[in-house]
Amino acid sequence: MNLDPDLDLNGLAALESLGGFFALRTGQRTEQGKGQRKRRVLPTLAEVYATRNVTADPDPLTFRVHKVVNSLAAPEVRIGVSVAQQGLAARLWSVALGSAVLHGQVPDLDPLLLHWDADGSAPDDLWLSELHALPGDAVTIRRLVHHGHLEPLSAALRARHPVAAGLLWGNAASALVGAARQLDHWAAAHGRAEVGERARALAAELLDHPDLRDTGTLDGTAFRRRSCCLYYRVPGGGVCGDCCFTRAPRSSPTDASG
């Protein structure tokens, strides 16, 4: 591995103190196949996003969506799509923002280097095969996360399932602000005001993109989105803190998910 003196393996491991969503494993991890199948290296996210995987057996994205649907007893597949996408978006934003505000650098999160366990949960779902440090600025983070992951992830999910692009970008914005909010809380608790300031500034700059700019309104780390992630439709579920609804609607307006 190519290690940077500022963002090295120890620095990356320290991100777990911020919470599981900020942690990133390194090296190559394998998963045990069923029956007589041999252990294999987990797929890269580049492979996961490829539309050719729509008919793959198993297709990691479809597997993840149905796992979420089953775990939530969701009445619609697109709820699983929404929750699965927001979870992965939150992981990617958190790793990038946490690294940037604590180290001033971010690991190269190229989809070719990042392996994903569709059956795993944070922090054991993402594994980085090589560590290369890059500048921790908004331009770099946008290239790595927004363009490198969220765009192909959205395209791959929409190729598989009927889900609105506006819903997915609303999820991405919500996940971004959520990561910044967690960093802001950590900074306040540890007397690191500069960390909170940097997190808020990065989040505001990253939200200033055509895909995200109109997804909601931001005030510090308070966010009110203009779409709904559909979680309220889960049995026993309610509205999220940044939902466009103040209470779960009785009906399901189509504009709330678009």
Neighbours of 38 (CB within 10 A): 7
Helical H segments across 104-164, by residue range: 138-141, 151-160
Confidence of residue 38 (pLDDT cuts 50, 70, 90): very low
Mean pLDDT (whole number) for 205-210: 96
Neighbour order of strands in the sheet with 114-116: 25-26, 126-128, 114-116
Phi, psi of 114 (to 5 degrees): -100, 120
Statement: residue 16 has pLDDT above 60: yes
Nearest alpha carbon to residue 257 among 72, 142, 54, 85: 85
Residue 189: per-residue pLDDT: 96
Domain ranges of the chain: 9-257
* Angle formed by the axes of helices 165-189 and 77-103, nearest 10°: 40
**What does the pLDDT look like over 47-100, one tens digit per residue?**
999 865 555 566 899 999 999 999 999 999 999 999 999 999 999 999 999 999
Confidence of residue 5 (pLDDT cuts 50, 70, 90): very low
| pTM beyond 0.85 | yes
Separation CA 225–CA 174 (nearest Å): 7
Q: Token pair for residue 207?
A: 């939200």
Separation CA 93–CA 33 (nearest Å): 30
Q: String of b and e for 124-138 (b: at least 16 CB within 10 Å)?
A: ebbbbbbbbbbebeb
Per 3-state DSSP, the chain is made up of helix, strand and coil in percentages (nearest 5) of 50, 10, 40
Is the separation of the CB atoms in 61 and 156 below 8 Å?
Answer: yes
Separation CA 43–CA 40 (nearest Å): 9
Residue 33: per-residue pLDDT: 52
Is the separation of the CB atoms in 169 and 81 below 8 Å?
Answer: no
Exposed/middle/buried for 76, CB within 10 Å: 0-12, 13-18, 19+?
Answer: middle
Lowest mean pLDDT across 166-170, 175-179, 254-258 = 254-258
